[in-house]
Amino acid sequence: MSKTVKGIIMRDYKSRIAGAGEEFPDAMLISIRGLKAVDNTRVRGMLSKKKIKVVVVQNALARKIFENTGLSHLSELLTGSSALAFGGESVIEVAREIVGLVKKFPGIELKGAVLDGTLFTGKAGCEELSKFPTKDEAIANIVTLVVSPGRKLLGQIKGPGSNVAGLIKAIETKLEKGEATAAVA
């Protein structure tokens, strides 16, 4: 293959990957070679609905465009048939979707993923990544942790006040009915 053709292919890879919103977002490396054509189309359609893209890459050219980027860790996993999966809200969402699809389509091979410069290798690594909380889930967990002590304090303050209010309401009800209330010593 000539340098010109390689350059065109590399620019195509860069433009497809850059279309995800970042120059080189975090991504997952899979192999879809074990899928039949119909299943491949179904998988891509399902992922497309979640705004996840799958780009089949030529290993040598992918290594070159991954150099000095966050995806450089994936270079060591570029063997055999490789496809880069990226997009969605984060690579965690991508991992969740693809790990879920592996159960239905066992022809998908999980090679690895990169999240913030950390490499998750093989099926075990991808499954581990899929269990991580997304950014929104992590923020919700932090907010819950921050608000929880205040909620407990409010309950402690409100509890005795509710008891006093209940006693006053009981005395008021008795007085309205004309019953006598006991004197407190």
- Residue 22 pLDDT greater than 70, yes or no: no
Q: What is the model's pLDDT at position 177?
A: 81
Mean pLDDT over residues 88-101, rounded?
A: 89
Rounded to 5 degrees, φ, ψ at 137 are: -65, -40
Torsion of CA 163, 169, 171, 177, to 10 degrees: -150
- Report the topology of domain 3-132: Alpha-Beta Plaits (3.30.70)
Q: What is the model's pLDDT at position 98?
A: 92
**How far is Cα 50 from Cα 52, in angstroms, rounded to an integer?**
5
Q: What is the model's pLDDT at position 21?
A: 45
Q: What is the model's pLDDT at position 38?
A: 92
